């Protein structure tokens, strides 16, 4: 049975801010229903926590460093981007009879839209929203900046629900084609600035929201750039009293996003397409949103930004209510997963940096999942941007996280005993052998995945010879 594919992506959604995770008081009943009817991935990670490079990796299934997609376009220095001639799993589906549509945020190429990468139709809901805003609400002004505010627009006219509405229209057109289809829907929410409508904003009382566990951050022994971030944003004096309303709006816009997703899923059901559609929900990366007292997601490898929610549902194929704690990459593992689900082989001319998750669907257990290679670690990357260059590579096991900061002090966190990553143990003498092992394994994975940073002999010395302060 060849499935249809509905791939839904949020923008900057934390792993702990969906209801089924049970970690934050965020209401997401529609996303929770997907988890209850399918499989949730408890430890899924973005390979690079920056919008543009992350989305480019999803198109081709490779780490962004291998094709020069280092940071977002249009900020500071010019940067390469994924070429339209590069491999695209969407194009493979297109070549095998799939009708493909794309709605919402793109961020893959500054001038070329998704139709250059294997999609038959692209609906720019952001553009339609902006045009409608100017035409219907010329007097509306947003003054909260990146800190956000309550949106005065009717719910139907917000960007979240405009994206859902346009996706629903395209879903109908794809379904009417009579053949298999794949639809990718990319919401902007809950990326800052968070602007929930009043009906969702009232769901969360800032006075009732407890601080993140990492809010006790002091930056002692940490890279300079982290404390500098507070000054760059002008939030160095913010206490939880200032942060709580911002977090409340973040929660509220997540619930608004969930409502928009619910409407799209209902349309899928109404069209009788539920049973033969593989639905995937995830996010490009997370958000600090006050975690470690910081804003946005840059220059850190904390769980807040690298860890993401991910859910897959395919009735009759994926066991309902199942969960796996395997270490997975959402953006690198999805391309081979989707191809295998559609009965297609991996491309011969493109080596994926991820692996198919299909073997985990029915069991969630590596012992029973034939062909699945269980990971002992996850590697994430960052190449600097926005407030200046600052390159990082991270390796995370279930117990430890090591962050290689090429131009500053490294970081080492004991995830079992310090889950909020407050105490940098890089200087602890008793960890020297552990650090050497993590550095060696990090080098091996970066070399295997063709990261050019380790082709430099000076960088190799840092990892392999311990020539790092």
pLDDT surpasses 80 at 368: no
Mean pLDDT for 416-440 is: 97
Q: How far apart are CA 394 and CA 382, in angstroms?
A: 9
Where is 31: in which H helix or E strand? helix 29-37
- Of the listed ranges 210-214, 266-270, 334-338, 458-462, the one predicted with least confidence: 458-462
Confidence bin at 185 (pLDDT 50/70/90): very high
What is the DSSP pairing of strand 307-308 with strand 44-45?
A: antiparallel
More confidently predicted of 191 and 79: 191
pLDDT band at 71 (very low <50, low <70, confident <90, very high): confident
- Residue-wise DSSP of 231-256: HHHT-TT--HHHHHHHHHHHHHHHHH
Model confidence pLDDT, tens digit, residues 121-143: 999 999 999 999 999 999 999 99
Tokens of 444: 């091996």
Question: In the structure, what pLDDT confidence band is assigned to residue 42 with cuts at 50, 70 and 90?
Answer: very high
Q: Give residue 76's pLDDT band: very low, low, confident or very high (50, 70, 90).
A: low
pLDDT at position 88 = 97
Q: For 260-312, give the DSSP string.
A: HHHHHHHHHHHTT-STTEEEEEEES----TTGGG--SSTT---HHHHEE-EEE
C-beta pairs of 52-55 under 8 Å, 24+ apart in sequence: 52/81, 52/107, 52/108, 53/383, 54/284, 54/285, 54/331, 55/105, 55/106, 55/107, 55/108, 55/186, 55/284, 55/331
Per-residue pLDDT at 367 exceeds 80: no
Name the 3-class secondary structure at 101.
strand
| φ, ψ dihedrals at 113, nearest 5° | -90, 180
- Predicted confidence at residue 82, as pLDDT, reads 95
Structure tokens at 158: 């917000």
pLDDT of residue 26: 98
Average predicted confidence (pLDDT) for the chain: 95
């Amino acid at each position: 049975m060849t499935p249809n594919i509905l791939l839904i992506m949020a923008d900057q959604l934390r792993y702990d801010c969906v209801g089924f995770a049970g970690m934050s008081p965020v209401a997401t009943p529609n996303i929770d229903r997907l988890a209850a009817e399918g499989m949730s991935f408890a430890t899924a990670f973005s390979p690079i926590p920056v919008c543009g490079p992350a989305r480019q990796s999803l198109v081709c299934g490779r780490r962004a460093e291998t094709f020069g997609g280092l940071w977002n376009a249009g900020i500071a220095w010019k940067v390469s981007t994924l070429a339209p001639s590069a491999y695209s799993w969407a194009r493979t589906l297109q070549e095998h009879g799939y009708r493909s549509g794309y709605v919402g945020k793109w961020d893959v190429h500054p001038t070329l839209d998704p139709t250059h990468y294997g999609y038959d139709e692209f609906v720019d809901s952001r553009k339609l929203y902006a045009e409608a805003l100017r035409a219907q609400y010329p007097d509306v002004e947003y003054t909260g900046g990146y800190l956000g505010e309550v949106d005065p627009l009717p719910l139907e006219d917000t960007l979240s629900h405009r994206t859902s509405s346009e996706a629903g229209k395209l879903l109908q057109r794809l379904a009417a084609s009579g053949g298999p289809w794949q639809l990718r829907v990319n919401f902007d929410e809950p990326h800052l600035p968070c602007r929930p409508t009043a009906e969702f904003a009232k769901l969360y009382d800032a006075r009732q929201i407890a601080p993140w566990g990492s809010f006790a951050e002091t930056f002692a022994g940490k890279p300079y750039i982290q404390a500098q971030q507070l000054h760059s944003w002008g939030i160095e004096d913010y206490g939880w009293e200032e942060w709580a309303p911002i977090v409340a709006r973040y929660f509220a816009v997540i619930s608004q996003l969930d409502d928009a997703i619910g409407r799209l899923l209902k349309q899928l059901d109404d069209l009788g397409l539920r049973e033969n559609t593989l639905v995937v929900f995830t996010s490009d990366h997370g958000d600090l949103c006050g975690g470690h007292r910081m804003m946005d997601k840059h220059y850190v490898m904390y769980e807040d930004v690298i860890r993401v929610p991910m859910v897959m549902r395919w009735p009759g194929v994926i066991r309902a209510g199942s969960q796996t704690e395997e270490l997975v990459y959402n953006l690198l593992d999805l391309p081979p997963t989707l191809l295998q689900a559609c009965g297609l082989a991996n491309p011969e001319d493109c080596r994926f940096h991820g692996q198919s998750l299909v073997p985990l669907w029915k069991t969630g257990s590596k012992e029973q999942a034939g062909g699945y290679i269980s990971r002992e670690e996850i590697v994430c990357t960052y190449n600097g941007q926005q407030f200046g260059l600052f390159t990082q590579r991270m390796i995370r096991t279930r117990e430890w996280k090591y962050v290689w900061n090429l131009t500053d002090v490294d970081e080492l966190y004991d995830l079992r005993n310090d889950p909020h990553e407050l105490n940098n143990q890089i200087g602890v003498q008793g960890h020297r052998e552990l650090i050497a092992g993590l550095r060696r394994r990090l080098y091996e994975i970066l070399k295997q995945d063709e990261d050019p940073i380790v082709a430099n002999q000076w960088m190799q010395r840092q990892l392999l010879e311990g020539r790092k302060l």
